[in-house]
Amino acid sequence: MAYKYLLLILGSIQIIVAIIELLFPQRIFVIWKKFILSRFYQLYGIIMILIGLPLTAYKGYLSLVIFFIALFVVFSGAFILFYPEKIRRSFNESEEFFNNKTIRLLVYFEALLRICAGAVFLTACWKTFYN
């Protein structure tokens, strides 16, 4: 029963965030950069691990796809915890290296990945718990 709400909430949040990213890509990049430079960034890594771990045990519709998404989230969280300076440095270099159009395309790509993950979560929730 808990997976029902977890999938529903995560899927909805992913799609809402992706829509915001599609509407304001330049502003989102600036927010990303500020967040990565903040002291709460490593807390984000812990949250990613805590959210991803239960998803690895999900059994239901699209469970294999959700397992790989969860695995990516957990490993990303661990990478954030162990190597925050590498991520900060790459963000600083990307702003110097990429122009505004390329940054916008990167944000669009990330939004597309979020929409896909959100759709997988919502579809799994629907097929597993409402059919």
Question: Greater confidence, 120 or 90?
Answer: 120
pTM of the model: 0.90
Q: What is the tens place of the pLDDT at every residue in 53-69?
A: 999 999 999 999 999 99
Query: How far is residue 105's CA from residue 127's CA, in Å, rounded to a whole number?
Result: 33
Question: Greater confidence, 130 or 68?
Answer: 68
Length of the chain: 131
Query: How far is residue 4's CA from residue 102's CA, in Å, rounded to a whole number?
Result: 37
